[in-house]
């Protein structure tokens, strides 16, 4: 393989400044803070669904990145047209095909459970969980509902592919980070664990780090931040430049990753006692509520 081909295989297609400046959702009147909250909740939902479906972590990461990419730019999907929970389900279903077929019924059943206001264990769906075990009827999927949702799953799968130009190529930074750690002889398990934690939390970033920065830069930033946190001394030279990351980009990513804990905490406080809208109908209700509140 030629050097240029090798570099291309380790890079991702990134969002352009024009795409980041205006999304389809914003053109349809969805406020930026609401859009950020829904993208954050949808990524968490995708992660939870992947775990329940027993998918490999790299498949879950791919699904979250696909889910994020779908909403970017004026040509992307709009939260006023597509439900975040349905796009999340379609992203999981589509990405799981990389490792083998996934039964649509399994996907639909898992999302019925996770999106049930009474049964869901997710704080942004069920902010007031019951102490007693919820009845299965609260998330039961009838045959008629299943058939309708199955068709919707297939339609959204194709919609995601068309929106992304059928580009499913995604390089995740986790393996790259391990390679960099081995190169610097920094093989502490505690350090590697913290690096992975930062890379996983970056998937939820409101700055959309996985679609704005290449995986090598994400890997370097996670290593730099994790090494400082766990007290592991790396080489004294500006080692990040060896991995093609400049100081300015490194500084931005370190600040962004370091802010994730505060962002997640702020989201929980903002939505305390309320669910984050993950359907088109719920988004419309939230926007009406905000208009009414501003008018009073």
What is the spatial distance between Cα 208 and Cα 41, in angstroms, rounded to a whole number? 13
DSSP H helices, 3-142, are 3-9, 17-21, 24-27, 32-52, 57-70, 84-96, 104-114
More confident call, 24 vs 128: 24
What is the CATH classification number for the domain harbouring 43?
A: 1.10.472.10
DSSP H helices, 164-214, are 173-183, 189-202, 209-212
Residues 187 and 71 placed together within one structural domain of the fold: no
Question: Would residue 203 count as lying in a domain?
Answer: yes
Q: What is the pLDDT of residues 134-186, one digit of tens each?
A: 777 788 888 999 999 999 999 999 999 999 999 888 999 999 999 999 999 99
Q: What is the pLDDT of residues 178-193, one digit of tens each?
A: 999 999 999 899 999 9
Question: Would residue 205 count as lying in a domain?
Answer: yes
Residues 196 and 232 placed together within one structural domain of the fold: yes
Tokens encoding 82: 């597509």
Residues 161 and 180 placed together within one structural domain of the fold: no
Residue 183 is part of which domain span?
173-258
Per the CB < 8 A criterion, the answer to whether 105 and 193 are in contact is no
Residues 215 and 117 placed together within one structural domain of the fold: no
Of 120, 150, 142, 119, whose CA–CA distance to 41 is shortest? 120
Tokens encoding 189: 């398990």
Residues 127 and 61 placed together within one structural domain of the fold: yes
Residues 203 and 122 placed together within one structural domain of the fold: no
Residues 161 and 192 placed together within one structural domain of the fold: no
pLDDT class for 1, splitting at 50, 70, 90?
Answer: very low
Question: Would residue 218 count as lying in a domain?
Answer: yes
Residues 141 and 222 placed together within one structural domain of the fold: no
Q: How many structural domains is the chain composed of?
A: 2
Per the CB < 8 A criterion, the answer to whether 86 and 156 are in contact is yes
H or E segment to which residue 253 belongs: helix 247-258
pLDDT at 187: 84
| pTM flag (> 0.85) | yes
């Amino acid at each position: 393989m030629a050097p240029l081909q090798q570099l291309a295989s380790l890079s991702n297609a990134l969002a352009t400044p024009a795409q980041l400046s205006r999304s389809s959702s914003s053109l349809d009147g969805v406020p930026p803070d609401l859009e950020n909250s829904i993208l954050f909740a949808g990524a968490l939902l995708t992660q939870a669904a992947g775990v329940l479906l027993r998918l490999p972590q790299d498949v879950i990461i791919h699904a979250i990145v696909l889910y994020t990419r779908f909403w970017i730019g004026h040509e992307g999907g709009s939260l006023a047209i597509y439900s975040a929970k349905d796009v999340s389900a379609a992203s999981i279903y589509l990405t799981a095909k990389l490792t083998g077929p996934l039964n649509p019924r399994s996907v639909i059943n898992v999302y019925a459970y996770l999106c049930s206001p009474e049964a869901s264990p997710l704080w942004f769906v069920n902010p007031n969980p019951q102490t007693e075990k919820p009845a299965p009827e609260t998330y039961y999927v009838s045959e008629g509902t299943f058939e309708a949702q199955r068709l919707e799953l297939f339609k959204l799968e194709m919609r995601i592919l068309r929106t992304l130009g059928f580009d499913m190529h995604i390089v995740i930074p986790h393996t790259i980070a391990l390679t960099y750690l081995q190169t610097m002889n920094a093989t502490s398990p505690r350090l590697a664990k913290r690096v992975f934690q930062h890379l996983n939390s970056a998937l939820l970033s409101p700055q959309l780090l996985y679609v704005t920065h290449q995986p090598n830069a994400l890997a370097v930033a996670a290593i730099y931040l994790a090494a400082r946190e766990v007290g592991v001394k790396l080489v004294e030279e500006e080692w990040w430049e060896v991995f093609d990351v400049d100081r300015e980009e490194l500084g931005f990513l370190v600040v962004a990753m370091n802010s994730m804990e505060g962002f997640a905490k702020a989201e929980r406080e903002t939505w305390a006692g309320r669910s984050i809208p993950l359907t088109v109908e719920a988004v419309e209700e939230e926007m009406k509520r905000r208009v009414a509140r501003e008018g009073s």
